[in-house]
A and B are shown apart, each in its own frame.
Chain A
Amino acid sequence: MADYIAKTPCDGLLPQTIGSLTLTETAVDRMTSFMPWKGREKTASKALKAACGVAFPGPNETSASGDVQAIWTGRGQCFILGVELPDGLSAEGALTDQSDAWAVMSLRGDAAVDVLARLCPVDLRDAAFKPGDTVRTEMQHMMVSVTRMDDGFQIMVMRSFAKTAVHDLTETMKAIAARA
């Protein structure tokens, strides 16, 4: 039996600090996608809340309870981070384990919004994108999930894009830092 070495998606790539900007990897030990069955959206949200304390978030929204975070990730779909969901929830919707399948990063610093402005075609400034808001969009040509935290942005890409995402982010951070 091969001896596998566990590595996080951004192992060896992060953290990086460039000027006043920092990009770090966020460790997420459990991540599950939840897609309520057709016609069961309301009962699914209730069951989710009962199971882990968060309701099914609406489009572009997140919900949180303690360390558990629910991020809307598309039509009829959200990701639950930070908790193992009970199997019983599958009566209400499709559960798929996404743990280790995504690279989760945090971008912090005053100019973080300027970095993303160069990479994503969405308005992520304070007035339009408040803490707890989320978007599915693209970063360069990668599909990405961006969530506003109290102190920065949480950026998620599929694990196979981790190196490219870090490259694009850090190159842009350098460009922004050079202008500061």
Chain B
Amino acid sequence: MRIKCPLCGERDRREFYYQGAAIALNRPAPDAGDEAWNDYIHNRENPAGRTKDLWHHEAGCSAWLVVERNTVTHEIYGVELAEDVKRGSKNAD
């Protein structure tokens, strides 16, 4: 699997650290309640197909990335800087 980092270009999977579902960009408010926090920390959609998750270009530029990819075929549809996704109020779920 190769991921096209927006800064470094296409790189081998081993340069990246996987964090998990991009839900981490949608942190609930501190007073959102147990259910919201339980969903945020534990429960996952975990789709067999298209998903968005967070990767860290650990051995490269150190940027956090939102990678949209397919969990069955490993096809990658797009990669964005997590910062752009968050600041651009783009939908990260």
Q: Which residues of A line the B interface, CB within 8 A?
A: 59-60, 74-75, 77, 121-122, 135-138, 143-144
Contacts and interface: CB of A to CB of B under 8 A. Distances in A.
B63 interface: yes
B12 A75 contact: no
B7 A137 contact: no
Given A60-B8, A121-B12, A121-B15, A136 B63 contact: no
B4 to A, nearest CB: 13
Name the prevailing secondary structure of the B interface residues: loop
A125 to B, nearest CB: 14
A143 B61 CA distance: 10
Contacts of B8: 59-60, 135-136
A60 B14 CA distance: 19
Name the prevailing secondary structure of the A interface residues: strand
A138 B59 contact: yes
B60 interface: yes
A75 B7 contact: yes
A74 B12 contact: no
B26 interface: no
A59 B11 CA distance: 14
Contacts of A122: 11-12
A135 B15 CA distance: 12
Contacts of B11: 121-122, 137
Given A59-B7, A60-B8, A75-B7, A137 B62 contact: no
Given A121-B14, A121-B15, A136 B9 contact: no
Contact of A138 (B7, B9, B15, B81): B15
